[in-house]
Structure formats: structure tokens, C-alpha cells
């Protein structure tokens, strides 16, 4: 790996270390954790190296996060605004997605895996509308939630 000059701001805030990375063309990345200063510097270097290679910050931050964890985070975010009732179609759809796809790492989940899963759902008897709705949820989770993963280290 080529050395990357660190441009992150690392400061101590209330006994924790805050790392803030700002790069032109990217959203600012801020993370505050109870880590050591050396751990904060390592984390900042890892993120900056990934950005220098053209990787998205969301993909780097979401590394190791499973689809089940994204679904859990989605439920948590929804509970703040409008909880998903246990009797709703959305609850059952999310539950089914979690059971079928939950173990997959979100950033490593491929289009081919999604197609195979959709075909399996169709063979199980799920109709086109159901499969389409489940696919839209997976697409939403993939597209939006990885960009919100700052602070997800506790997942």
C-alpha cells in the first residue's frame, strides 16, 4: 500500500477521540469513539487510503456489516419516526429478507446473488409484486444506509 498523507483532524472530546476527514468531492466523515489516539490515527489512515483508491466512504465504513444489521438499523431509524407494526406487510417482508439474506455482508452482496435469490423466491411461490418489493428494499438498504454508517462500530 502506498503511504497516504493524513489530512484528518483528530481531537479529544470528553475523553473520546474524534476523527474528522474532509476531502474535496466527498461528504465529511466524522467518527467519535472511546479509542486511543493511535487507534484513531490508524482508522483515519485506513479511510483516507480507501478514498485515495477511489472507494466510497460508505463502502469502507460498512465493511463487515451484514444485510441483517442494515435491516436492524433501518427498523431502529423507522421506530424513531413511524414504527413498523408487527402485523404489517413491511414487517413480514423485512423478516423474510433478514432470514434469507441476513448473513450476507452488505458491501460484498452482488447483483448475481440478488438475481439468484429472486429466482428462488419465485420458485417458492412469491409473486412478481412481492419479489419486486423485496428487491426495492434491498436496493434501498444498499444505496442509502451504508452512507449513514458512521458510528455503526457497535453493530
27 or 16, greater pLDDT: 16
144 or 103, greater pLDDT: 103
CA dihedral angle for residue 45, residue 48, residue 54, residue 57, rounded to 10 degrees? 110
Cβ(8)–Cβ(20) below 8 Å: yes
Under DSSP, the state recorded for 9 is E
User: Cβ of 45: how many Cβ atoms within 10 Å?
Assistant: 17
What is the rounded CA–CA span in Å between residue 89 and residue 149? 26
The residue ranges of every structural domain in the chain are 9-55, 67-147
pTM of the complete model = 0.64
Confidence of residue 119 (pLDDT cuts 50, 70, 90): very high
What is the rounded CA–CA span in Å between residue 82 and residue 95? 17
pLDDT averaged over every residue in the chain: 83
> E strands of the chain, at which residues?
9-13, 16-21, 29-33
Amino acid at each position: 500500500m502506498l503511504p497516504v498523507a493524513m489530512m484528518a483532524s483528530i481531537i479529544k472530546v470528553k475523553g473520546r477521540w474524534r476523527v474528522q476527514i474532509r476531502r474535496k468531492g466527498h461528504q465529511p466523515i466524522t467518527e467519535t469513539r472511546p479509542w486511543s489516539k493511535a487507534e484513531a490515527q490508524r482508522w483515519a489512515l485506513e479511510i483516507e487510503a480507501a478514498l485515495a483508491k477511489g472507494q466510497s466512504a460508505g463502502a469502507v465504513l460498512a465493511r463487515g456489516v451484514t444485510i441483517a444489521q442494515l435491516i436492524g438499523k433501518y427498523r431502529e431509524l423507522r421506530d424513531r419516526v413511524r414504527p413498523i407494526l408487527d402485523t404489517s406487510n413491511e414487517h413480514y417482508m423485512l423478516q423474510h429478507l433478514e432470514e434469507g439474506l441476513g448473513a450476507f455482508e452488505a458491501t460484498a452482496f452482488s447483483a448475481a446473488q440478488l438475481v439468484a435469490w429472486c429466482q428462488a423466491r419465485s420458485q417458492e411461490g412469491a409473486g412478481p409484486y412481492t419479489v419486486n418489493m423485496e428487491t426495492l428494499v434491498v436496493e434501498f438498504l444498499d444505496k442509502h444506509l451504508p452512507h449513514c454508517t458512521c458510528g455503526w462500530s457497535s453493530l
